């Protein structure tokens, strides 16, 4: 017999170029379970398309009605392609002075529009003998944000919070960090999304570094389709089977040599910058997630090239996050880390 009333999370909504993913978690005294999930395919591609087009909004509305979701409150990730992400160093200050400094950094970024700004504190640094504050600056144009909110309203969702995809990833994978000694180990989360790779380095419970890299899973899968005649479903199946992954890995890595070299070069530069600016007493571990995480041989190739431990954890486990998933998500868990991180965001009651 279950004692106490179950508590539902808001619906986590990730908006990709090719799909919208929705996820809701229900909590009881024994832990959490996935209450409902849906993946709505999109037909529109990049370049001038609405953030949420009418046909997609209608499909999301049907999923909310028929897919087992409870309520319509949502935490929504701003699409990475609509978001500017910068590391900035400003004079130590608060209130109006800090706000003015951040707006100055964005002076030319949104011509004819006003920016919606969020900042994360990284810490104090000494630059040319002066103390300054290092921040991670996240911003989006007000016009796109209003368009996004309008499209979600058409889809039947009430947005209670907007979030950055990288913040959702940190929330997803750092939930397991509970011991004081965990603060000494920094975690580099590498999320191979559809059209971009997001990297976030976190330690001591907060973000230390973020960057968006131009190479995504879609580009890699396109190469595999052209050179090896492998479909996206073939790649996903191989990623779920150790035997199939081991058999395909040499051919896949050979076909993706140029893309892998580019990705490794970018990741190496990020890790060197982090090592030069922040001490990691417990070292750095790398967590791989996103649609591209299931590409055969990728995790081992990154581990060898970067000389570091690379993990591909399943966040939908009682041991990892306290959340049990459905069988369908268990087979494809790497693609759902952003929606899961969104559901874990605390929002006003």
Owning domain of residue 282: 179-312
Q: Are residues 214 and 304 in the same domain?
A: yes
Q: Are residues 5 and 104 in the same domain?
A: no
Q: Are residues 158 and 281 in the same domain?
A: no
pLDDT at residue 327 in the model = 78
Q: Minimal CA–CA distance to 41: which of 25, 26, 53?
A: 53
The tokens for 295 are: 């590409």
Q: Are residues 120 and 234 in the same domain?
A: no
How much is the CA Rg of the chain, to the nearest whole Å?
A: 20
Q: Are residues 54 and 135 in the same domain?
A: no
What CATH number is given to the structural domain containing 119? 3.30.1490
- Specify the residue for token string 């309203």: 153
pLDDT at residue 44 in the model = 56
> Among residues 117, 141, 165, which one ends one of the domains?
141
pLDDT at residue 176 in the model = 65
Q: What is the mean pLDDT of each run of 10 residues along the chain (349 residues)?
A: 67 91 90 91 60 88 94 93 86 70 82 84 77 86 92 94 92 70 79 92 86 91 93 82 84 95 95 82 86 91 93 84 81 90 81
Q: Are residues 91 and 237 in the same domain?
A: no
* Element of type H or E holding 260: helix 257-277
* SS3 category, 281: coil
Residue 261: how many other CB atoms lie within 10 Å: 11
Q: Are residues 225 and 332 in the same domain?
A: no
Q: What is the DSSP letter of 307?
A: T
DSSP string, 288-302: EESGGGGSTTHHHHH
Longest C-alpha distance within the chain, in Å?
Answer: 64
pLDDT at residue 47 in the model = 42
Q: Are residues 38 and 160 in the same domain?
A: yes
The tokens for 130 are: 């002066």
Total domains in the fold of the chain: 3
Q: Minimal CA–CA distance to 255: which of 288, 314, 215, 297?
A: 297
What CATH number is given to the structural domain containing 8? 3.30.420.40
Burial category of 104 from C-beta neighbours within 10 Å (exposed 0-12, middle 13-18, buried 19 and up): exposed
Q: Are residues 79 and 96 in the same domain?
A: no
Q: Which residues contact 276 (CB under 8 A, 6 or more apart)?
A: none
Q: Are residues 125 and 152 in the same domain?
A: no
Phi, psi dihedral angles at 313 (to 5 degrees): -75, 150
Q: Minimal CA–CA distance to 302: which of 325, 281, 286?
A: 286
Q: Are residues 237 and 302 in the same domain?
A: yes
Q: Are residues 215 and 289 in the same domain?
A: yes
pLDDT at residue 46 in the model = 45
**What predicted TM-score, i.e. pTM, was given to this entire model?**
0.88
pLDDT at residue 199 in the model = 95
Q: Minimal CA–CA distance to 239: which of 295, 310, 290?
A: 295
pLDDT at residue 115 in the model = 85
């Amino acid at each position: 017999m279950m004692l106490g009333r179950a508590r539902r999370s808001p619906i986590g909504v990730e908006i990709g170029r090719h799909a919208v993913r929705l996820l809701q978690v229900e909590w009881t005294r024994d832990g959490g379970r996935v209450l409902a999930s849906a993946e709505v395919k999109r037909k529109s591609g990049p370049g001038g398309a609405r953030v949420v087009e009418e046909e997609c909004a209608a499909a999301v509305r049907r999923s909310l009605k028929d897919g087992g979701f409870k309520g319509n409150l949502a935490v929504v990730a701003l699409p990475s392609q609509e978001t500017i992400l910068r590391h900035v160093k400003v004079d130590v200050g608060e209130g109006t002075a800090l706000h003015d400094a951040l707006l100055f950094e964005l002076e030319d970024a949104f011509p004819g529009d006003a920016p919606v700004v969020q900042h994360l504190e990284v810490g104090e640094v000494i630059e040319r003998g002066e103390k300054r504050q290092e921040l991670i600056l996240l911003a989006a144009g007000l016009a796109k944000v209003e368009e996004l909110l309008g499209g979600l309203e058409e889809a039947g969702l009430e947005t209670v919070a907007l979030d950055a995809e990288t913040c959702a990833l940190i929330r997803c994978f750092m939930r397991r960090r509970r011991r004081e000694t965990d603060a000494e180990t920094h975690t580099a989360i590498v999320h191979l999304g559809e059209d971009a790779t997001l990297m976030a380095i976190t330690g001591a419970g907060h973000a230390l570094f973020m960057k968006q890299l131009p190479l995504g899973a879609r580009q890699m899968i396109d190469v595999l389709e052209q050179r090896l005649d492998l479909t996206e479903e073939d790649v996903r199946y191989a990623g779920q089977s150790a035997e199939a992954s081991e058999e395909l890995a040499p051919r896949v890595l050979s076909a993706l040599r140029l893309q892998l070299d580019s990705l490794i070069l970018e990741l190496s530069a990020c890790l060197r910058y982090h090592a030069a600016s922040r001490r990691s007493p417990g070292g750095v571990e790398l967590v791989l997630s996103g649609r591209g995480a299931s590409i055969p041989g990728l995790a081992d190739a990154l581990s060898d090239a970067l000389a570091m431990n690379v993990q591909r954890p399943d966040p939908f486990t009682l041991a990892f996050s306290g959340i049990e998933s459905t069988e369908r998500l268990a087979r494809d868990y790497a693609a759902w880390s952003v929606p899961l991180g969104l559901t874990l965001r605390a929002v006003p009651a």
